[in-house]
Amino acid sequence: MKKLTKSFYKGDTIEVAKGLLGKILVHKVGDAELMGRIVEVEAYVGAVDKACHCYNNKRTKRTEVMFGPPGHAYIYLIYGMYYCMNVVTEEEGEGAAVLIRALEPIGGVEEISVNRYNKPYKDLDKRQIINLSNGPGKLCRALNITKNNYKDDLTGNKLYLLDDGYKVSVIGISNRINIDYAEEAKDFKWRFFIDGNPYVSK
C-alpha cells in the first residue's frame, strides 16, 4: 500500500473526488489504526458552487484551510454535534474540497464499534454493522475524527489516505445530498459512490 501524495490532491476537484473512491482512510489513535475504504464522496468548489462553505471565495476563520495547500483536512461541525471530514483539493488559493460521505470499515473494527455504539463488534446486529460509517457524521465518530484533526496534513502519519490498488468497477453519480438551499448548485452531479456497495449512505 502507498500513501497518497500532494500531487494527487492538487488535481481538479471532480477528478480527485472520483479518484478517492476505493482509497483507504486511516486514523492512528494511540496504538490503534482505524481504517475504512472510501465508498462515497461529494465535491465542492467555492468559485462556482453555492453549496460550498467558501462560495464566491469567501474566507473565514473556518474556511481558511480550504484555500491553503492541497492535501489537508477540513473538519467542521453540523447540528452542533457531528463532525464532517473534507479533503482540500486544487492549487493553493482555489478554495475547494471533497467531503468524505461514507466508509466501509476494514481495520480497527473493534474500536470503531465501541466509538459508534459503545459495545463490541460481535454484539452488533446487521443493521448496526451497515450503519457504522455510512454517513459523514457517522464515519467521523467511528474513526474518532474531531476538530483536533482540523488542518491535519494528509500526507503525514496521523490521518492519511492509502492506495492498496483497489479498482472500482462502477462509479455511481448523482446530485449531492441535503443542499436544497443551494439554488442551481443543488443540481450539480457531484456526488460519486461505489455502485452496489452496502455502506453507501441512503
The CATH number given to whatever domain includes residue 156 is 3.10.300.10
Residue 13: which H helix or E strand, with range? helix 13-20
Task: Give CA–CA dist 171/40, Å, rounded.
Answer: 9
- Which domain does 98 fall in, by range? 2-194
Whether 200 is in a domain gets the answer no
Whether 161 is in a domain gets the answer yes
Whether 202 is in a domain gets the answer no
Whether 199 is in a domain gets the answer no
If you average pLDDT over residues 109-132, what whole number do you get?
A: 96
Total domains, the chain: 1
Look at residue 95 in the predicted model and tell me its pLDDT: 94
Q: Are 163 and 29 in contact (CB under 8 A)?
A: no
Task: Give CA–CA dist 134/104, Å, rounded.
Answer: 8
Task: Give CA–CA dist 142/167, Å, rounded.
Answer: 24
Look at residue 55 in the predicted model and tell me its pLDDT: 87
pTM across the whole model? 0.96
Whether 201 is in a domain gets the answer no
Whether 20 is in a domain gets the answer yes
- pLDDT tens track for 27-85: 999 889 999 999 999 999 988 999 998 888 888 888 999 999 999 999 999 888 899 99
Whether 49 is in a domain gets the answer yes
